[in-house]
Amino acid sequence: MVSTKTFDVKDITFAAAGKQKIEWAAREMPVLELIRARFAKEKPLKGIRVSGCLHITSETGNLALTLQAGGADLVLCASNPLSTQDEVAAALVEYGIPTYAIKGEDDKTYYKHIIAALDHAPQMTIDDGADLVTQLHTKRSDLIQNVIGGSEETTTGVIRLRSMEKDKALKYPIIAVNDATTKHFFDNRYGTGQSTLDGITRATNILWAGKKVVIAGYGWCGRGAAMRAKGMGSQIIVTEVDPLKALEAVMDGYQVMPMTEAAMIGDIFITVTGDINVIDKAHLAVMKDGVILANSGHFNVEINIPALAEMAKSKCTIRPFVDEYTLGNGHQIFILGEGRLINLAAAEGHPASVMDMSFANQSLCLEYLIKNKGSLKARVYPVPDDIDKEIARLKLKSMGVEIDTLTPEQTKYLASWEQGT
Ligand SMILES: NC(=O)c1ccc[n+]([C@@H]2O[C@H](COP(=O)([O-])OP(=O)(O)OC[C@H]3O[C@@H](n4cnc5c(N)ncnc54)[C@H](O)[C@@H]3O)[C@@H](O)[C@H]2O)c1
């Protein structure tokens, strides 16, 4: 059954503002623009039904228009209840892309929107966090036979998909866009780093200088957040479970300690682990009065908010995206954006310039899946190296940066083993 092409957005009259936002982001997305121009000529996705579960932002608007230019018959839904930009959702509908996404939608509506996107009977899926793929495999498995392949945007989604592959539950090939170098080196590090601080700043207007900022998880996102908070004058404390990442954080000049210790001294806490209950009841109990807690990992499970709600004698929303919990000991704990990824809840997500590369990967990977239809197994595949390198080359070119090329002598030297000192 193919979708009846309805939509569900907050207010369709927001479309003009959404188009302006999409156009503004496009200025910083030159690589995607090049791909869009080629797609418009070659139509590599002609007539292919694509369902995308993505953060509905102005950058995603540009990805959607690129896929549409390539001939895709696209339907979109939100990949997080709080990340939708309502103007962009309205604009996408006006551009002829049925979109199901409303900022602040409850969990029931969120899943209803995913099912609406699946009603499109996709031949390809694009996911950010693997909720669409999970719903397809569990609730609408009747549709899987249509699917040629899919792509996944984020670390948490790739982890879930690898578990599905291991359990032999995955039924079609999916490319792990997150694992492309031109994705996580830049998007997760510089994108999350900057936009997480942006979200916290917009929600609270706090001064970063002099604050003790605890970063839970020193992966790609954690490195970015730590680097940027340090640049704003904060003292950084890192918590980790991986000895290599912890060692890296120490050598990068940060204090490293268990969360039980960090909980007692931090002013601001940022979780970016992809893990559950990283800030748990015992940590919440020993925190100072007035601490600010934010999450930038994919799901809202990193801070144990249900435990905090139980511990609190009162709760109120004192500013948009700021919930104040008052504990029995009189201490107040502020949770930002309901523990959902703060850069998208309280700010605009990653700047367009990094999404340019992430979404160039998405576009080229969908094209690759079509070209290789039938030859890929139901596995999680890496982004082909030539796609990754080509995106880096185009990005450098767009920035006006030139690099050297190996001479024939250097090529020979690097391939040989005989020559020493
Ligand atoms: N906010 C955004 O826009 C955005 C962008 C990209 C990725 N993400 C999400 O952010 C999360 C992190 O992504 P990443 O690419 O940095 O992953 P990563 O695997 O590079 O890093 C995660 C780190 O967390 C550590 N960790 C796990 N459990 C921990 C615990 N209990 N305490 C302390 N550290 C712990 C791991 O050892 C690892 O070093 C994922 O959920 C990902 O999907 C969000």
Mean per-residue pLDDT for 222-250? Answer: 98
Say yes or no: CB of residue 355 within 6 Å of ligand 1: no
Structure confidence by residue, pLDDT tens digits, 384-400: 999 999 999 999 999 99
Mean per-residue pLDDT for 314-328? Answer: 97
DSSP per-residue letters across 346-401: TS--S-HHHHHHHHHHHHHHHHHHHHTTTTS-SSEEEPPHHHHHHHHHHHHHHTT-
On average, the pLDDT of the chain sits at 97
Mean per-residue pLDDT for 91-120? Answer: 98
Query: Alpha-carbon distance 336 to 199, whole Å?
Result: 9
Say yes or no: CB of residue 298 within 6 Å of ligand 1: yes
Say yes or no: CB of residue 76 within 6 Å of ligand 1: no
Tokens of 314: 């009162």
Which residue pairs from 243-252 have beta carbons closer than 8 angstroms and sit at least 24 positions apart in sequence?
245/217, 245/218, 245/219, 246/218, 248/218, 249/218, 252/223, 252/226
The ligand 1 atom nearest the CA atom of 218: 39
Structure confidence by residue, pLDDT tens digits, 26-42: 999 999 999 999 999 99
User: Residue 420: what pLDDT?
Assistant: 87
Mean per-residue pLDDT for 222-248? Answer: 98
Best of 238, 248, 298 to mutate for ligand 1, by most ligand atoms within 8 A of CB?
A: 298
Query: Alpha-carbon distance 225 to 215, whole Å?
Result: 7
The ligand 1 atom nearest the CA atom of 245: 39
Residues recorded for the chain = 421
Mean per-residue pLDDT for 338-365? Answer: 97
- Counting Cα atoms < 13 Å in the Cβ hemisphere of 372 gives 18
First-to-last alpha carbon distance for the chain, in angstroms, is 68
Mean per-residue pLDDT for 362-374? Answer: 97
Cα 221 to averaged position of ligand 1 atoms, centre (Å): 6
Query: Do the Cβ atoms of 295 and 339 come closer than 8 Å?
Result: yes
Say yes or no: CB of residue 295 within 6 Å of ligand 1: no
Say yes or no: CB of residue 218 within 6 Å of ligand 1: yes
Residue type at position 276? I
Share of the chain above pLDDT 90, in %: 98
- Counting Cα atoms < 13 Å in the Cβ hemisphere of 310 gives 9
| 3-class secondary structure, 282 | helix
Say yes or no: CB of residue 25 within 6 Å of ligand 1: no
Say yes or no: CB of residue 351 within 6 Å of ligand 1: no
User: Residue 1: what pLDDT?
Assistant: 41
Query: Do the Cβ atoms of 98 and 122 come closer than 8 Å?
Result: no
User: Residue 5: what pLDDT?
Assistant: 55
Share of the chain above pLDDT 70, in %: 99
Mean per-residue pLDDT for 309-328? Answer: 97
User: Residue 108: what pLDDT?
Assistant: 98
Cα 252 to averaged position of ligand 1 atoms, centre (Å): 18
Cα 131 to averaged position of ligand 1 atoms, centre (Å): 17
Residue nearest to atom 33 of ligand 1 (CA): 240
Query: Alpha-carbon distance 156 to 251, whole Å?
Result: 27
Say yes or no: CB of residue 217 within 6 Å of ligand 1: yes
User: Residue 88: what pLDDT?
Assistant: 98
Cα 275 to averaged position of ligand 1 atoms, centre (Å): 7
Say yes or no: CB of residue 222 within 6 Å of ligand 1: yes
Query: Alpha-carbon distance 68 to 94, whole Å?
Result: 13
Mean per-residue pLDDT for 395-419? Answer: 95
pLDDT at 167 over 70: yes
pLDDT at 2 over 80: no
Q: 352-371 and 58-69 helices cross at what angle (nearest 10)?
A: 30
User: Residue 3: what pLDDT?
Assistant: 44
Say yes or no: CB of residue 59 within 6 Å of ligand 1: no
Residue nearest to atom 42 of ligand 1 (CA): 155
**Longest Cα separation, the chain:** 73
- Work out the pLDDT band at 419, boundaries 50, 70, 90: confident
User: Residue 151: what pLDDT?
Assistant: 98
pLDDT at 4 over 80: no
Mean per-residue pLDDT for 77-102? Answer: 98
